[in-house]
Structure 1
Amino acid sequence: MAYLSNESGSPQIWIRDLATGAARQITTLTDPVGSVSWSPTGEQLAYSVLPGGGLNTQIWVMNAAGSGARRLTPGGKENNGFAGWSRDGSAIFVDTNKDNPAARDPALIQVATGAWTKLASDKGLNSIADMRGDRAVVGRLLGRGDTNLYLIDQRTGTETLLTPHEGKAETGWGDLSPDGRTVYVISNVRRDRQAFGTISIGPDGKPGPIRYFAQRTDAVAEGAAMSEDGRKAVLVWNVGGRSELAWFDPKSGRVRPGPKLPFDLVGAGDFTADGRSLALVGSGANRTTDIYLVDTATGGIRRITESRHDGVDLTTLVRPELITYKAHDGLALSGWLYRPRASTGPVPVVFNYHGGPEGQARPSMSPDAQALVATGIAVFAPNVRGSSGFGKTFMAMDDRGKRVDGVRDIKATTDALVAKGIADPTRLGIMGGSYGGYMVMAGLTEYPDMFAAGVNLFGVVNFETFFRESEPWMAAISTTEYGDPATEAAMLRSLSPIHKLDRIKTPLFVLHGANDTNVPVVEAEQIVAAMKARGVPVKYTLFPDEGHGWRKTSNRVRSTTEIVGFFAEHLRAVATTSSAAPR
């Protein structure tokens, strides 16, 4: 098994012998590795490398022993994504903006020669989902929350739209059946919540409508994987934030429940070549992220890796509870509460807003949350309107000018936890990363008397500079979510916290990566300069070797330590336990 581990301090490639359990690290790069995949023959590994932790990802191949490494992408500032191997192992699938910074073109790279074949050009953000013969299924992101699948003939370049729809809808997965006559999808076309379905391809190459074979009213389809022979598939459901498995038999169309999982969240899944076992990445709020092997016949689950957690007793970590409440307009909202075990009555609370904005707060391992809880500070991770996991109607409720309602959810969230007797209104903090950082700045400017401290991690503060300085492809897909700077500049200006910084009186801590091209560092610099000019307390940490988020262990430890120290100082928390957060 090939996998990534940050045991050495940065994500690198490891190989583990499943028979003996012996593991060895085969890359020792200065830069983090983003992904790794065996070739179908098992002779080579393809992997992505993130220079400086940024998005100018480069794709490499090497032999299974870890030698003979060759870069297949240009190696400059262009962004490249790795999407898999061709079934014969002769080529890899990539998406790249090397020829147009505002697009991500789908392409094949011949591993032996390095020759490129593009399947489409200048048509938005694309990724190859699967390919059989000369036919490829390509996913294309039209805008945030709006995707299509296309069937592309490599020889002619002819595109066939597989997922026509009105308004916003998302379709993914895109595996082809062995005969090439069926495309398996996850979609919310003609429905609110994503479900599992199929698209039949006629003899003339024309697609039929999506026919859903597995759908739930209490969950959204989240992920899937098909065995190489096309005889079985695993389906992953997101049930209010936790993962559940189901098995699918494509021949009979039967769906049956999968095994009960010993963890809350499922990551990537991959079948062994014979289809007898399924490898899953499993994690949870009170357990490390590890790889598990599932016997597809019996449902038995065996943990393959044991991530180190030196000095941390996992039994002391808190598993969050789901809290529900209402927004100002009666909309049902929810979030996950990490509460100190020994707490009684109202306690200091840090509200941690997720990114996206289409992200979702889930019961995951959060070193920041666990370290704050260990210091006597509760953490609440809300899913305000605009979050994913609750259907496309809910996710669209903060689009464009409706973003003001998402910001109003900050007050509703705070008021709800105070009213429930959980939060001490005099000791409240707010934090978040990326779009969550925007929510921090919106909260501090719209409700300047609400919070005693704020932590903004690589957040947007000025939509004008975001659209101008971000990657052109990122700006292009963001207009349907935030607004079009060419036609809605006034609205974007009114939604930008940068123009209301004079309202802030709350001590602020800003953290950013110097190599961040999603939310460029100019966003942090504007805030810090304005706060210093006004004499408002501001702390600033810039990581020179990171991009959009932290990958190196040393930086993650420093970030968590400094964040906890900042909140402990300003929320006047008293330590209730000596347990530490895992790395």
Structure 2
Amino acid sequence: MAADTRDRLTVLTSAAPVPVPLADAAGLRDTPQPLVPHGCWYPSADPTGEYVAFICDRSGVPQLWKGPVNGTEIHLLDADPDPVTEVAWSPDGRWIAYTVAPGGGEHTRVLCVRPDGTDRRILAGADVGSSAYLGCWARDGSAVAVTVAEPPASVGRGTHRGAPYAPDRGAVLAQLPAGWAERDGPATLLGELGEAGELGSPRNRQTPVGGPVGPGDGLTLVGGPGGEWDGRAATGGPEATRDRLGAYLVDPEGTRAPVLVAAEAGAATLRVCDLSEDGRFALVRRGPRGRREAVVSRIADLGTGCVFRVADGDPWIGRFSPDHRTLWLRSDHEREFAALLAVRLDTDGERLGASVEIEREGSDLELLAFSDDGRTAAVAWNARGASELQTLSLPARRAGISGAVIATAVPRDVPLPHEVVTRISRTGPGGMVLALSGSQRRPGVWWAPPEAPSVRTPWSSRDEDAVPAGRPPVRPVPLRPIARDGLPLGGWYYRAPGRTAGRPAPCVIHLHGGPEEQERPVFDPLYHELLGRGVDVFAPDVRGSSGWGRSFVDADLGGGRFAAIDDVADCAAHVVLTGRADPTRLAVMGRSYGGYLTLASLVWHPELFRTGVAVCGMSDLGTFFAGTEPWIAESAAHKYGHPEHDRELLRSLSPMSRIDELRVPLLAVHGEHDTNVPLSESTQVVHAAQERGLAAELLTLHDEGHEFRRADNRRLFRRTAADWVERHLSG
């Protein structure tokens, strides 16, 4: 091994995952009577295209199921109550890998099971405090990639540039309220960020996102003692620091040792998205939100080849061509909107040239899927919130004189029966399987045969079963408010049924999370509940939302967040001035970042709303950074500001710093196991409101984390929230 390569290697001290057999899941595998309504999503087709594994919540919790695309007989493959979040059927058809969230919290683990429900086992994330998530399968199905995030050996200490690092917390801790650290395990404060980012100590994780990566940084490569690579099977040692992410190829049979594919120090994203057919290269996605990168990693020596910027959103960013000389990539590299790029590679995985294969003006390429042979692809475009689907044959390729790839692909439009595609599974001669959502239906799985209309799978809910008879879902209309600084915004307006035309209505401004999420025209049971109480809903995309270009996403960075807070007021003004909403009966509600924006709107525009509902929202950015997961803190620093360098900005952006301006009743809702935004963020703002004589309540949902996945808890949440809004907007 060359000396310069050896110098870049560091010792990986975390243990590789070892498969752990489990007893067969308890419960019947026969097809149960369907509970109506229910949702089915995240399909993964078998190699024949005749069967699909998917997630379904017909039992009240998202679980793993299997069924034929043309039949009604479906089977429950794992009856445990832990929510399932991802599914991937192996290319050889022998295994189904999936991710679960034990207890409904943020910690996740990867399991696999045979298609008949036997041989269930944990592949990664079995250790207490560790977490794991899925990558791709090897092309022959012999192994599946998993990323393992292990907890630190000593809480509160990390590694900064390879040296022990313990941040000085005094100045921040002195300002924190009592009980801020009462959470699922010890709390950690983010420390100093260098140009390439802090290397913190990740703990329980779900789809890690993480530390900023400098332009010249490669993956943290891994070797044996002294930097010399001493074998491909990775093992841990007694001196393990347990502060790294490792991506491994794991044999579900357990007959071969895990193979290290890539590693990264500190709190960062690391997902293996594809492996070349010859096994030489891995396509890895890394980096924090807003600064994602695609990296071609050479598996033999863990060296880094081509590095490309890619867009946020769906983590499945691309695929190698069959000859591994072209990388198909969903990317917004040097672009306002993501497109399909063709990147030409040399024999070492370095970039020779790149060209745009297919693009849409004003629309992001959102989803990308390929046939097993890599010769056809399906692409879903985000057109102002709705999806447009196309298929294309990937052309034979040749390089021009400059090294740029010459492309001639011609897409074919695929009609959609509903507004939004959420996942595409395997496309080829037999068609593809789609997960669809829309304003008139719950999530379902559809089979799209070639040259024929898409067909709903018999086990997905029918459109007419989306809600009980008598009150059909409302189809929203798009709105384009203009912010006070002239920036066009977006959003969808839902009008309560039966309202007289031209009569202003009580209205909830509902704010999505992220902030990089986007409001989509899909059925939301919460909106349906509010509409049934005679309350309209306007769900806007304020600056910082995705789907409107990179400049729009970045428009709220740092001090731009003050403008995002004003966007909420401008959206409220828009629906009032257009005659839709009653200015005396407005409420604001939101979840996660939307919960923060709800609280901020109440204290920055205290005369505008009569009440607010903040769900899992940050009330103080200082205590949020101190109490959240380190990998969340790393990523959030890019969006909000650094907790040390930008302390004054974060203080001025925190709703708690203006809590004396709160003048209306407040309901806060939070999951008890939320380690993304700790429960204390809701507790402290409710206590502060009560101390000022305001009506304020906290609803804590048991066995939930940052996402509410259990049907009974979701039902309790939306009914409590709707009761609160109806009570305070009545009259």
TM range (shorter): over 0.9
User: For residues 315 and 292 of structure 1, what CA distance do their matches in structure 2 show?
Assistant: 25
**Secondary structure in 2 aligned to 1:362?**
coil
Following superposition, the deviation at residue 168 of structure 1 comes to: 11
Conserved in 2, the CA contact under 8 Å of 1:104 and 1:473?
Answer: no
Q: Aligned residue for 2:185?
A: none
In the aligned structure 1, how far is the partner of 2:429 from the partner of 2:510?
40
Q: Is the 8 A contact 1:241 1:361 kept in 2?
A: yes
Please state whether the residue corresponding to 2:498 is helix, strand or coil.
coil
User: How many Å separate the matches in 2 of 1:321 and 1:314?
Assistant: 22
Equivalent positions of 1:248-397 (< 5 A) are 248-251=392-395, 253-271=408-426, 275-296=429-450, 298-304=451-457, 305-307=459-461, 309=465, 312-313=468-469, 316-344=472-500, 345-397=503-555
1:389-440, CA deviations, whole angstroms, 9 ceiling, x for partnerless residues?
0100011000011111111111111111111111101100100000000010
Higher strand share: 1
Q: What per-residue deviation string (whole Å, max 9, x for no partner) do you get for residues 86-129 of structure 1?
A: 12222211222216644643322232227433312316211111
With over 3 angstroms needed to count, the CA separation of the structure-2 counterparts of 1:140 and 1:438, relative to structure 1, is: same
Which piece of structure 1 moves more, 183-192 or 209-218?
209-218
1:116 aligns with 2:258: yes
Contact 2:131 2:148 in 1 (8 A): yes
Does residue 71 (structure 1) correspond to residue 122 (structure 2)? The answer is yes
CA deviations on 1:354-410 (whole Å, 9 max, x unpaired) are 100011011111111111112110000001111100100011000011111111111
Higher relative contact order (CA 8 A, sep 6+): 2
Contact 1:222 1:238 in 2 (8 A): yes
> Deviation of residue 71 (structure 1)?
1.1
Summarize deviations over 1:279-326 as a string: whole Å, max 9, x none. 000110111211001113x14211113227476138721010001121
Counterpart pick for 2:98 among 41, 44, 47: 47
Whether contact under 8 Å (1:172, 1:187) holds in the other structure is no
TM-score (norm 1): 0.94
Q: Is the CA contact 2:107–2:129 (under 8 Å) kept in the aligned structure 1?
A: yes
Q: 1:576 maps to which residue?
A: none
Instruction: Please point out which of 583, 588, 612 is paired with 1:430.
Output: 588
Q: Provide the rounded CA distance (Å) in 1 between the counterparts of 2:99 and 2:569.
A: 41
- Measured in 1, the distance between the counterparts of 2:683 and 2:676 equals 15
Say whether 1:174 aligns with 2:332: no
1:134-533 equivalence runs, <5 A: 134-141=280-287, 143-163=288-308, 173-251=317-395, 253-271=408-426, 275-296=429-450, 298-304=451-457, 305-307=459-461, 309=465, 312-313=468-469, 316-344=472-500, 345-533=503-691
Work out whether residues 370 and 376 of structure 2, in 8 Å CA contact, stay in contact via their aligned partners in 1. Answer: yes
Q: Distance in 2 between matches of 1:469 and 1:275?
A: 51
**Residues 572 and 171 from structure 1, CA distance in 2 versus in 1: closer, same or farther, beyond 3 angstroms?**
closer
Secondary structure class of the residue paired with 1:41: coil
Distance 2:540 2:723 in 1: 23
CA distance in 1, matches of 2:316, 2:118: 35
CA distance in 1, matches of 2:329, 2:665: 47
Distance in 2 (alpha carbons) for counterparts of 1:541 and 1:160: 50
- Structural mapping, 1:85-100, within 5 Å: 85-98=137-150
Structure 1 contact 150–160 (Cα < 8 Å) conserved: yes
Structure 1: unaligned runs, 5 residues or longer: 574-583
2:394 corresponds to which letter in structure 1? Answer: P
Between the aligned partners of 1:419 and 1:73, the Cα distance in structure 2 is 54
SS class of match (1:567):
helix
TM-score by length of 2: 0.75
TM-aligned CA distance change 1:171 to 1:63, over 3 Å: closer
Return the letter of the residue paired with 2:454. Answer: I
Counterpart of 2:240 in structure 1 is: none
The equivalent position to 1:6 in structure 2, one of 52, 57, 61, is: 57
CA distance in 1, matches of 2:309, 2:134: 26
> Do the aligned partners of 1:171 and 1:189 also contact (CA within 8 Å) in 2?
no
Q: Following the alignment from structure 1 to structure 2, what is the Cα–Cα distance between the partners of residues 306 and 204?
A: 46
User: Aligned residue pairs: how many?
Assistant: 569
Structure 1 pair 370/149, CA: closer, same or farther in 2 (3 Å)? same
Summarize deviations over 1:532-562 as a string: whole Å, max 9, x none. Answer: 2222111211112001121111111111111
Name which of structure 1's ranges 82-91 and 277-286 shifts more when overlaid on structure 2.
82-91
2-structure distance, mates of 1:137, 1:260 = 31
Partner secondary structure for residue 596 of structure 2: helix
What whole-Å deviation, never above 9, does each CA across 1:320-365 have from its counterpart, x for those lacking one? 0001121011111121000013223110000000100011011111
Shift of 1:170: 11
Tell me, yes or no, if the aligned pair for 2:129 and 2:151 is still in contact at 8 Å: no
- Taking the aligned partners of 1:570 and 1:275, their CA distance within structure 2 comes to 56
Segment drifting more, 233-242 vs 94-103: 94-103
In the TM superposition, what is the alpha-carbon distance from 1:492 to its structure 2 partner? 0.7
> How many angstroms does 1:138 deviate by?
0.4
Structure 1 pair 209/463, CA: closer, same or farther in 2 (3 Å)?
farther
Counterpart Cα distance in 1 of 2:582 and 2:112:
54
Return the letter of the residue paired with 1:267. T
CA shift for structure 1 position 155: 1.5
Alignment root-mean-square deviation, CA? 2.1
SS at match of 2:479: strand
Give, in whole Å, the separation in 2 of the partners of 1:38 and 1:203: 30
For structure 2, list consecutive stretches of 5 or more residues without a partner in the other structure: 1-51, 153-200, 203-243, 397-407
Secondary structure of residue in 2 paired with 1:456: strand
The worse-fitting range, judged by mean Cα deviation, of 199-208 and 48-57 is: 199-208
